[in-house]
Chains A and B, each alone.
Chain A
Amino acid sequence: MSWTLMDKCCPKCWHNPPSNPCPKYIECRIKGPLCHDSSECRKLRARRLNELMFGRHGIKVRVALASCTLAVGAADVYYAVQEFVRESGLAVDVDIVGCHGLDFIDPWIEVVKKGLPPAIYANVNPEEVSNIVSSYLSGDVSKAFAIKYRTGTAKGEFLVPTLDELEFWRKQVRLVGRNCGIINPESIEEYVARGGYLGLVRAIKKSPDEVIEEIRLAKLRGRGGAGFPTWIKWKAVKDQVSDVKYVVANAEEGDPSAFSNRLLIESDPFIVIEGMIIAGYVTGANKGYIFVGAEFDLAAERLKKAVEEARKYGLLGDNVLGSGFSFDVEVFQDAGRYTSGEETALLEEIEGKRSSPRVRPPYPVSRGLWGKPTVVNNVETLAHAAVIVREGWDRYATIGAEKSGGTKMVSVSGSVRRPGVYEVPIGTSVKTIIDGLAGGPPEGVKLKAIEVGGPAGGFLPASEMDVPLDYDELLKLGVAMGSGILIAIDEHKCIVDLVRQFMVFFVSESCGKCVPCRVGTREMLEILNRICCGEGGQEDLELLQELGETLKNASFCALGSGAPIPVLSTIRYFREEYLTHIREKRCPADTCPVSREVVRYEG
C-alpha cells in the first residue's frame, strides 16, 4: 500500500505508540512535519491530501454506502461503478462515502475530477452509471443534482445548484454531521485530514476541570432524550473516587422513525470515538463501550474498524498521544430490544444479564457498569463534546437556544417531500424544519399533526408548528423532544389509529418488570382497539386518561412513563377525532376498522 497520511513521513519521525508516542502526532498529519524540516515530507503530505480529494489519478467516484442507500440499491450502483471502471480502462479511484442524510436522493454518487466541479448525482440506477460518469468526465455536469462548488469550467454548470444554494443544505448547521457524506467512514485518514482528533488534542492539553467547564459553558444537553446537562454527568463521575470507571456510548437508537444516530455512526464513526476518549480523559475512565443496536450491523462494523485504526495509530491504548492517559474501546452489539436503550438496562446487558432497567438511585454515575462509576451518553452527545472542544465553547454556545446550545440531528419522515436527517440549531422552529428543510407535504396534501420525539414523544397539531425544537418549549406543550424525531402526519392518517399502533409497540417492547407498564399498556391498547373498532364509549376517554396518569407516575422506567404520552397529547389536541370514532362510529380518515371488517388485536 502506498503512503498514507497516518504513516511516518520519514525515519526522522519518532512517533512510536505506546512506548514513545509523539504528542504532536495529530497536528503533524496536516501541518507537519513539526519536529524536523523537510520539503520532501511536506510535499508528501500535500500530495496525499490531494489524492484523498481527487484520487490517485485525478478522478474519483464516491458511492454513498450506508443502510439508507443500500436499502434502495446502492450496492448495485457500487458494482456498476466498478464495472464501468474495469471496462472503460480509465484510471479512476472508486471509494465509499457515508451519507448526507438526504434520503430522497438515495442512492447517490459523487464524481470528482480535477478542474471540474465535484458533482453529486441523485437517485442513480446501475444502468445509468456509465452514462453519468462518461458525460461528467467529458466535462458536462448538467445531469447532476448538485455540485459542491463552482469552477466555471464545466458544461451545464450553471443549470445545477451548488449544495450551498440549496435551501435544505444552506439552512442546516452541520457541526457533528460535517463529515457525514463527505468522508469515507472506513478511513481514519480522511477524518484526520478534515481536522479529526484535534478536539482530543486540545482536550488533553487542558485539565479535566477545564474541559468540563467548556462543556458547561457550551450548554450541551444530552441528545439521548432526557436532555440532561452533560457537564453535570461528567463532573459527577470525575468526582467519584474509584480506580475503575467506564464511558458507555449509547447507540441503541430503538425509537422507530429515528435514524440520525445510525446515520452518524455509519458516516462518521470516528467522531464518536473521539468524544468517548475525551469523556474518558475528563472523568478518569480507562475503558469505553459502544452499545450498538442489534440491527446496526454496518454501523458496528465501521465502529470496530475505526476502533482498530485508532488503536493502530496510538489514539486508543496506553499513553494516548503521550498524555499518560490510557483508554480503550470495545464495540458491543446488543440483542435488540427497545428497553436496552435505557441507560441502566444497557449496563445490565453489557454485564450479561437480562436487559431490564435497574433501580435508580443509585445512578450510573455512582454505581454503573459492574458497580463502577459510569458515564452513559448518547453517541450524538459525545460527538458534540468533541466538536465543542475542537471549536471552543464560545463559538458553539452562540448556536442554539438560550438554555441549550448547539445543534441536533433531526430525523424527518412522514408526509414530506424531502425526508431525511437535518442538523439544525436547537430552537429552530418545527415549521422551518418541516416546510423549509423537508419541503413540506406533497402537492395537494395538508398536514394535520407533527409527531415529535418518537413513540414516547407526542403529537402536535399543525397549528402549533411554530414551536421551537427545544427541550423546555416542547414540554410546555406536553410533548418531548426525545431523540429528535419529526413525523409529518397528513389528513389521510387517523390519529387514533397511529396512537394505537404506538401502543402496540409499547405492549411488545415493555420489558414486563413493573406492573403499571406491563399491564397498563395492554389495558390502554385494549381500549384503543375498542375505539378503533367502533365499540368505544365516552367513558373510555376518561379511562385512558386515568390509566395514562398511572403509567406516567408509577412506572419503573421512562418506557412506561412515556407510553401514554401519545394518548394523552392526542386527547388534548385531537379529542374530536376520538369522539367521531366513539359517537358517530366513523373514522375521519377512513382507515380504522370501525368502517371495515377487522381482526381484533387480543392482548
Chain B
Amino acid sequence: MRGNVRVRVDGTEVEVDPKSVLLDAIKKAGVAMHSFCQAGEIYRGASCRLCLVELPNGKLVPACAFPVSDGLEVRTRTAKTLRVRRSTLELLLAYHRIECWACMRKGDCVLVKMATDLRLDGIPVCAECPLHPEECLLSKGILCLGPLTLAGCDAECPATSGRCWGCRGPVTREDIVVRALKRYMELGFNIGEVVETAEIFWSAHPFLEKIKLVTRGV
C-alpha cells in the first residue's frame, strides 16, 4: 500500500490513507469510539467534542477532524479522555429536551449509547426501545415504566416480553419526570397507579417521594 501512513490506535497499528482523519484510523483498528456531531448530515466540524482522544503529550484532539500523520499514536480510552467526554456529554444533555418516547431517534439513539457507556444516567429506557412510537405499549393502554426508568438494559422488556417494570431504577432529572408524567396523563393513565407500579422496584428509593411530590404539582 504505497503512500499510506501508519497510525497506532491504543497500541494497534493500522495503515490508512494520508488524507483521512483519526476517526477513520480508529474505525479501521476496530476500536469502538464515541462521536456525535460527525454522524449526521449537518457536520459542522468537531463541535460536539465527544470524540476527543489523547496524544502522547497529553493533549486532547477531536478524532473526527484531526489529520493522520505517519507514526501518530493515540489512546482512545484514557482516564482523561473518558473524564472529559463524560463531563462534556453531561453538558450536552443538560440542555437537551428529553422526550424519548416520542422521539424519531428512539431505538437507535447515539446519545443513549454514549451515555450508558460513559456511566451517565438521565436518559430513559424509551430511548433504547425498538417499538415505534405508534406501537408503544402506552398507546395500547399497557402501563410501561420506560419513560421513568434509566436506560442501559437495551430496553430488554419492551423489546421482547412486554412492559418495563423499572428494575434499573428511576431517572432522576426532574424535567424528564415531569414530562413523562404528563405523557401518562395525556394517555389517560391514573398517576396513582403509575406510582403504585413504580413502588414495586423503587419503594426504597428516595426519589419516589420526590415523584409523589411532583405528582401533586401536575
Contacts and interface: CB of A to CB of B under 8 A. Distances in A.
Interface of A: 358-359, 361-362, 513-516, 519-520, 523, 546-547, 549-550, 553-556
Residue among B46, B60, B80, B85 having the largest count of chain A Cβ atoms under 10 Å: B46
5 contacts: A361-B67, A516-B88, A546-B87, A554-B85, A556-B47
Nearest to A513: B47
A243 B95 CA distance: 47
A556 B84 contact: no
A515 B84 contact: no
A554 B45 contact: no
Interface in B19-60: 44-50, 52, 60
A556 B62 CA distance: 9
Contacts of B48: 514-515
Given A546-B87, A547-B87, A550-B84, A519 B94 contact: yes
Contacts, number: 58
Given A515-B48, A554-B84, 10 more contacts: A359-B45, A519-B95, A520-B91, A547-B87, A550-B88, A554-B49, A554-B85, A554-B87, A555-B49, A556-B47
Contacts of A556: 46-47, 49
Interface size class, chain B: 20 to 34
A358 B88 contact: no
B109 interface: no
B65 interface: yes
Nearest to A552: B84
Given A550-B84, A554-B84, A514 B67 contact: no
A523 B91 contact: yes
A524 to B, nearest CB: 10
A519 B92 contact: yes
A203 B163 CA distance: 80
Nearest to B86: A550
Interface of B: 44-50, 52, 60, 62, 65-67, 80, 83-85, 87-88, 91-92, 94-95
Nearest to B80: A553
B24 to A, nearest CB: 15
A394 B140 CA distance: 85
A550 B94 CA distance: 15
Residue among B52, B80, B91 having the largest count of chain A Cβ atoms under 10 Å: B91
Residue among B45, B48, B87 having the largest count of chain A Cβ atoms under 10 Å: B87
B87 A550 contact: yes
A514 B94 contact: no
B94 A523 contact: yes
B111 to A, nearest CB: 12
Contact of A359 (B46, B85, B88): B46
A514 B49 contact: yes
Contact of A554 (B52, B94, B95): B52
Contacts of A361: 66-67
A155 B91 CA distance: 70
Contacts of A519: 91-92, 94-95
A48 to B, nearest CB: 56
A513 B44 contact: yes
A559 B199 CA distance: 48
B67 A554 contact: no
A515 B44 contact: no
Contacts of A515: 47-50, 88, 91-92
Contacts of A513: 44, 47
Contact of A553 (B45, B60, B66, B95): B60
Nearest to A546: B87
A387 to B, nearest CB: 34
Given A547-B87, A553-B80, A554-B60, A516 B95 contact: no
Contacts of A549: 83-84, 87
Contacts of B46: 359, 514, 556
A362 B95 CA distance: 31
Pairs of residues from A and B, 10 with the lowest C-beta to C-beta distance, nearest first: A519-B91, A550-B87, A554-B49, A359-B65, A514-B47, A515-B92, A359-B45, A554-B84, A553-B84, A513-B47
A358 B45 contact: yes
Residue among B48, B49, B60, B92 having the largest count of chain A Cβ atoms under 10 Å: B49
B75 to A, nearest CB: 14
A549 B44 CA distance: 24
Contacts of B47: 513-515, 556
A549 B88 CA distance: 11
A261 B19 CA distance: 40
Contacts of B52: 553-554
B145 to A, nearest CB: 29
A221 to B, nearest CB: 20
Contacts of B91: 515-516, 519-520, 523, 547, 550
A516 B49 contact: yes
